[in-house]
Chains A and B, each alone.
Chain A
C-alpha cells in the first residue's frame, strides 16, 4: 500500500479505504506504510482528521503510530501536541509511547520535558534502556554532567544495562572539562568496564584517549599498543596484572564449583556421592598436579587416528621433565576395543595418573575440581569451552571469576599436519581494564560487534601520566 503524496480530502480517503482488502485495518496499514516511507506529516494529519470525523475519536494505537512518524522526523511541536492530547485523554501511557516521547523530545531544546516524562514512566514500569540513553545523552549534550551521572547511577541501580554508546557520550562531552568530581565519575565508568569485563570498541577507545589527553593539567598521554605474551606493556614497560585469582577469589570459586557444578540440585545428575568421594581421596593422595587432561576430549582431536593414539601423542607432547599429569577418562576406555588398545593404555598409565569415571558420569566437573585443588600453577587441557559448566554457576560475579580463571589456566591443543600439536597457551596476564593510578591499560576491540564472546582483544590503549 503506497501512501499518497499529498494530504487528501475525506472523500478521497473513503475511496482508498473502500478499495482496500480489509477496510477495518485500512488506517493501521496506511499509517504503518507512512512510517516506512517516511511520508510528510501533513499526509498523516489528513488521515487522522479523516478518522476523527468518521469516528469522533482517534484510537490510542493510531496516536502512537503518528507519534512514531513525528519522532522519526523530529517534529517537536507536533510531539508536544500529541503528548498534551494523550495526557488528558489517558490517565497513564504505556512504555512504548513514553519511550517515543522521550526519544523525540531529547533531540530538541525541550529536552527537560523528557525528564518529567521519564519520571512519569517510572511510576508504572522500569523505563527502557533507550529512554535512559536518550535522556543521558541529552543531559551530556547540554553539559549537565551532574544530572547525567545521576540518571546513569539510577539506571545501574535498577539493573538496566547501559549501552556502550551512553558510556562513550560521557567521555565525548567531558573532553576538556575540569573538575575532580567529574574525573572520579569517569574513572568510575572505566572501573565499571573492568568489573563487567566489557571491552570498548575502537571509536569508544578513541573518545577515552582524547578525554585523558584533554584533562587540563593532567599530562596524560595515550598510545595504542599490543601487549607481549609476557604481559609487559611495550610503551611504559609496566607489567600487567597477572591472571591469577586472589586467595579469597580462588577459594570462593572452587567452593562454588563443587557446590553448583558438581553437586547442583542433585549429586546424582553428574556423578554419584560414592564416586565423587573416591575421586576426592584419589586427588588428595596425589596432589599437586601440573596439568589435568580431559582424556576423551583430547582423544578426538584427529578423527582419522585411533583415539588412544591421539591421547598418547598428547601426553607425550605435554609430558616434559617433572610435569605431573592427570588424565581423566571413563571406564569404557579400559575395555580393549578398536579405539582403545590395552597396551597403549598401559604405557600411558606409566607416564601419567589416570582416573576413570563411570560411563554415565560427567568427567568435566572432575577436571575443574582437580585443577582447582592442585593450586594456582595447575593448568588443564580441553578444547571444550566449558560453557555449560559456567552456566551452572548462579551469579554473574562467580561467572566472571570462572572466565578469568579459565583464560589463565586452559590450554587448548590443536591438531596440525604431521602429527604435531600446537598449543594455545593460557594467558599470563589478565585481560581487563586496569590501572595503577598513574597508568591505565584498556583492552579494546577492533570492530564494534565481536563475533565470539570467548575471544579476548589483543590490542590495548596505554595511558600514562608524565
Chain B
C-alpha cells in the first residue's frame, strides 16, 4: 500500500499538468488511500500486542502510519519555497534537533539571520535570540507568579481592613522624579559638564551600538539620581544615526524632555581645548586627582572586538590631553580588560566628584577584575596574590608573575 502511495505521489509531482489540475487530482485520490493505509496499520498493531515476542521494528510502522496524512499536505504546497520560508523551515528542523534556536522569529530577525556571513555567525545569532527568548519567558513567568502572590496578599489584607494615617498623599515616585529633575535642571546651568563622544558608530556593530545606548541610559539614570549631577553633553551626535534610533527605542517620548545637552558639534567647538581631558584606558597618563574645572570626555563605545587605541586616536588627532583611571595604583588587578562600561565610569566619576576618595570610587570596578585594594608594599601584595592564585585558581606561577611584572613594572 505504501509503495502504491509513493508511486501516486511521484506521479502527481512529476506530472506536467498545471497546479490546479494537480490539486483536483489529489482530492480525488488521496483521501481514499489514507483511510486504507490507516486501517491497515491498525490491524498490524493489534496483531502485535497479543504475542509476547518483541517486535523491534514496530516503531517504524507507527512512524510510517502517521505519515500518509502528511504526504497529502506536502504535495498540496508549491514545491519551490521562497528563501525566507526555506530558512524558517531549516530553523524549525534545528529546533527539533535540539539546538539553541528561538521558537518565534520575526521577519526582520530572519533576514538578519540570513545575512550573517558565516555558519558560526549564524549559530551565534540564533543562540543570542534563543537566550533572549528564554529570559523573556522567565521574566514573564516570574511576573505572573508575583501578581498571583499580590492578589493573595490583597485578599488577606482586605479581610483585616486597616487604614494607616499619614500626613502625605502617597505620591513617592512622581515627587522624587520632580526633585531629580529639579537637580538635573540646576546642573544644566551650574553643573560641571561631562561629555560623551558619540562618534564611534562606524567602529561598532549594530549590537555593540545597542549595548552602548543601554549603558548610556543607565549612566544618565544614575547621574539624575545623584546629589550633584553632571551636565551631560552628547557631542558629535547625528539625528540620523543608529545611536538616535536606539535612544528612541529606550526613551520613547521622554527623549525630547531629557535634561541633557545633545549636539552634533564636536566638544572642541563647545568647550575651550585646554580644559578638555579625554578619558581612555589606552592613555599613557594616569589620572591623579579629579579636577572640578576640567571637562572630562568619555568615548561612547562598546568594544567587543578589541580595537585598541581608537579613542586615543581621537584625542591625538584633536591634540587633547588624555588620562586613564589609576586602576593599577589602587587595585591589585587580576583579570579582564581595563576598559570599563560607561555606567561604571559614570558612577566612578560621580563618586570622585562628591568625595575625591579613590578607594570609594573604584568600588564600582567589577569585583571579578581585581583581587583587592593596594594598601601594603607591592612585594608583600605579590606574595598574597601568588598564594591566592595558586590556591584558588591553580594558575601557573610563572604566568602570574609575568602578569604582575607587566602591571607593576614602573614602580
Contacts and interface: CB of A to CB of B under 8 A. Distances in A.
A269 B59 contact: no
B167 interface: no
B79 to A, nearest CB: 10
Contacts, number: 100
A359 B284 contact: yes
Contact of B90 (A61, A64, A92): A92
Which applies to chain A's interface (DSSP): helix, strand, loop or mixed? helix
Given A94-B90, A94-B97, A126-B119, A46 B71 contact: no
A94 B60 contact: no
A268 B70 contact: no
B309 A57 contact: no
Interface string B304-325: 0000111011101100000000
Interface string B87-99: 0011001101111
A52 interface: yes
B55 A89 contact: no
Contacts of B308: 269
Contact of A124 (B59, B63, B86): B86
B17 to A, nearest CB: 22
Contacts of A9: 54
Given A61-B96, A92-B93, A49 B66 contact: no
Interface string A38-70: 000010011011011100111111001000000
Contacts of B89: 91-92, 124
A48 B59 contact: yes
Interface in A353-411: 359-360
A125 B93 CA distance: 13
Given A59-B96, A61-B97, A360-B284, A268 B59 contact: no
B97 A89 contact: no
A90 interface: yes
A52 B308 CA distance: 57
Contacts of B206: none
A269 B317 CA distance: 9
Interface string B39-69: 0000000000000001111111011101100
A293 B119 CA distance: 43
B97 A97 contact: yes
What interface size band does chain B fall in? 35 or more
B313 A93 contact: no
A88 interface: yes
B54 A94 contact: no
Contacts of A323: none
Contacts of B314: 268
A88 B58 contact: no
Contacts of B57: 45, 49
A147 to B, nearest CB: 26
User: Among A124, A265, A269, which residue has the most Cβ atoms of chain B within 10 A?
Assistant: A269
Nearest to A90: B93
A64 B97 CA distance: 7
B301 to A, nearest CB: 13
B335 interface: no
A91 B85 CA distance: 12
B82 interface: no
B402 to A, nearest CB: 12
Contacts of A269: 308-310, 312-313
Given A85-B63, A94-B97, A268-B317, A45 B56 contact: yes
A272 interface: yes
A165 interface: no
A125 B56 contact: no
Given A57-B63, A124-B86, A269-B312, A91 B97 contact: no
A7 interface: yes
Contacts of B55: 49
17 contacts: A7-B56, A9-B54, A49-B56, A49-B58, A52-B59, A53-B58, A58-B63, A61-B98, A88-B64, A88-B67, A88-B70, A89-B66, A91-B89, A92-B86, A94-B93, A124-B86, A268-B314
For the complex of A and B, the 10 pairs showing the least CB-CB separation, nearest first, are A268-B313, A60-B96, A52-B59, A94-B93, A52-B62, A45-B56, A48-B59, A269-B309, A269-B313, A61-B98
Interface of B: 54-60, 62-64, 66-67, 70-71, 74, 86, 89-90, 93-94, 96-99, 119, 203, 284, 308-310, 312-314, 316-317
